[in-house]
Structure formats: C-alpha cells, structure tokens
Amino acid sequence: MRLALVAGEASGDLLGGLLLAALRQRWPGLHAVGIGGPRLAEQGFEAWWPHERLAVRGYVEVLRHYREISGIRDALAARLLRERPAAFIGVDAPDFNLGLEARLKAAGVKTIHFVCPSIWAWRGGRVKKMAASCDHVLCLFPFEPELLQAHGVAASYVGHPLADVIPLEPPRAASRAALGLAETDTVLAVLPGSRRSEIEYIAPAFLEAAALLHRERPALRFVLPLAPGLRGLVEPLVARHAAGVPLQLLDGQSHTALAACDLTLIASGTATLEAALFKRPMVIGYRMHPLSWQLMKRMGYQPWVGLPNILCRDFVVPELLQGDCRPEALAAAVRSGLDDATGAARIAQRFNELHHLLKRDTARCATDAIAQVLQA
C-alpha cells in the first residue's frame, strides 16, 4: 500500500514518525512518500522535500516564503494526482495541508488530517475549510471530535502519541547520567523553538535570561537541545548573548533534556506539551514579528497560549509573550519556579492527570480510524 504524508516542521515530523511506525506495524509492506524530516525517515519514509522548507511561523514570515511554499504545494499536488496514493495524511501544518487536501479530495483521493487545528483557541472559521478538505480528522484532545462533528466533519479521538511514548514516571536519574549531570545539580533546559524564525526572535531573550541566571547562580547547569540543522544558527547567538554560560548544546535529545531538568524555559508549541508529559515546571516564552503578533492576537479566543494551560484551562505555568518576553522577566520567572518546591509538586500532579487523559494507545486508535477510511 502507498500513502502520502506531509509533516511541515519538527513537531509534525515527530508525530508523523510515531504514526508511520504504527501504520507499518499494521501494514508491513506500506510505502510512504511526501514531505518530512528525520523522524519519518527513520520509518523508511521517502521525502520528496525536507520538512524544513515549510517550517515558517507567522504571517509576515510566511509572506516572505510564500512563492516557494506555494510552488512546493502545487508540485506536490500534481505529483500525487498522477500517482494516486491510497490516502493522503496531512500531519498538522493546516495552512499548507488543508488547501492541498481540498484539491486531492475533490479529485477523489481520500484525505485524513492528523491533529485538529486549534479552532477552539483561534481562527475558528477554518472548520468550514476542513469540511471541504478532510474525509476524517484524527484528534489529539478529547473535546475536539464533538466540535468538528457539529460542522459535519468526521473525526475520532485517538489520544496523543507522545502520551504513549513518554513514560508516566520520567527517567530523571538515567537522563542526568546520559548528559553527565549529577543528581544534586540544578538544571535548566532551554528550548527556544525548532523553526529558524523562532530561533531568531526567541533565542536571544532566552540566552540573555540564562546569562542573568548564571551570574546570580553560578552552580546552575544549562542544557539546550537543538533541532536538526540549527546548530550553525544557534552557536553564534550563544557566543553573542550567553558567553561564559555553562550551556551544553545537544543534538536532538529534547526528551532527555526534559527528563533531566528541574525546570524548562521553553517556546510555546508542541514542546510545552512534551514538557508537561515529563511533569516539569516551565516558563513559556514567545516572540514573533510585531505585525504577525498583532494579527494573531486579534484572532484568539482564550486567555492562554501554551498547550498545558489550554488543556488544564488554567494558568498552571507562566506565559511571557511578545513584549513581556524579556530577559529580566524570564529570569525572574525561572528563579521563582526553581525556588518553589511546593508549586513544582502541584504542577507535577496536574500534569500527571493530563497525561492519563491523553494516554489512549494512539497507534491502535489511529490505524483503526485510517483503516475505516481506506475501506469506505
């Protein structure tokens, strides 16, 4: 069987890799093609374009790359319409995938969207586009199928694959040993994002916050896991904004860093959910182009931006966004979190409850739903 997938960034590549592993277990002869990164490649995926070409966030940033991204989507649509896979699975990246899915569905190719766009948080009008684009949506969160079905979109709750992969009891000691960290070290994991645009806007503030914390607490240890291909971008920023800070740059290993740390300073996105599943306190920060920020802020429906807070429907962890995402404010929030053992235990309990809610054997649920679409 031949399936096509598009995963447009590191988080989508991670989810796509987990899904493809499950699909290949169910259909051992499966061949998958499209756009993806290293996690999909580990499962034998044939990438026609690398996922980094689509990893752009924010209206202004997308406009700069619009011609290139639009050209990739047109070329991919033409090729898929010639080759006619059994189904197309769009992994997140709704701005790219929903338009592609609409063209494929209109031509008779079955379309599945994996990860419901956050219509409950912002841009709810996309649900109309989903009805024209998706034969079925695989939802990560339990409240989403009912919202979609009310608009005529078939959907299934499959749980979150990361909740199956990340252990309920994080391997803190083993992870520290793997990174050369002592059990008694206080460790901050710094995760400034996986897209180039995020690194450019967010990393300087995060690194300057690390420098402030290092001056105050010289014994504090820092680890910064890097998405593939970003070391050359991050190293000069470290030299400029965090010279002399004992910052351990890791190639990948974000899960090891999250399991090992006492707290993480982290960019808003899927990584915040990973941190929550590791039961870690966090300080969420985010910056983007000012015009993109103004446009996105007007479309929001909820007071929260970070996924852990959205899912808990509470400010469980602090969010410092745009103008508030300043080194001094970030350092103060990290300092407060590191010094609050009672708060850390309370956060861990909330995130443990969230983990149980999202743990649903996603591999089986997702492949069952996909099998039904293929048989329809």
Question: Rounded CA gap, 100 and 118, in Å?
Answer: 19
CATH entry 3.40.50.2000 includes domain 172-358: yes
Q: Evaluate whether 237 touches 207 at the Cβ level (below 8 Å).
A: yes
Report residue 157 as tokens: 């709750």
* Residues of the chain by 3-state class (helix, strand, coil), percent to 5: 50, 15, 30
Please give the model's pTM, rounded to 2 decimal places.
0.80
Q: Which fold would CATH assign to domain 2-159+360-375?
A: Rossmann fold (3.40.50)
* Per-residue pLDDT, 209: 98
Quote the DSSP letter at residue 265: E
| 17: CB partners within 8 A, 6+ apart | 36, 39, 40, 42, 43, 45
Cα 182 to Cα 173: distance, rounded to the nearest angstrom: 9
Whether 2-159+360-375 and 172-358 share one fold: the answer is yes
The domains of the chain are located at 2-159+360-375, 172-358
Each residue's pLDDT expressed in tens, for the chain with a length of 376 residues: 999 999 988 889 989 999 999 999 999 999 999 999 999 999 999 999 988 777 665 555 556 667 888 999 999 999 999 999 999 999 998 989 999 999 999 999 999 999 998 876 666 778 889 999 999 999 999 889 998 999 999 999 999 989 999 999 999 999 999 999 999 999 999 999 988 889 999 999 999 999 999 999 999 999 999 988 899 999 999 999 999 999 999 999 999 999 999 999 999 988 999 999 999 999 999 998 888 777 766 655 568 889 999 999 899 999 999 999 999 999 999 999 999 999 999 999 999 999 999 999 998 999 999 999 999 8
- Give the DSSP per-residue string, 302-315: SS--SHHHHHHTS-
> Would you state the pLDDT for residue 290?
84
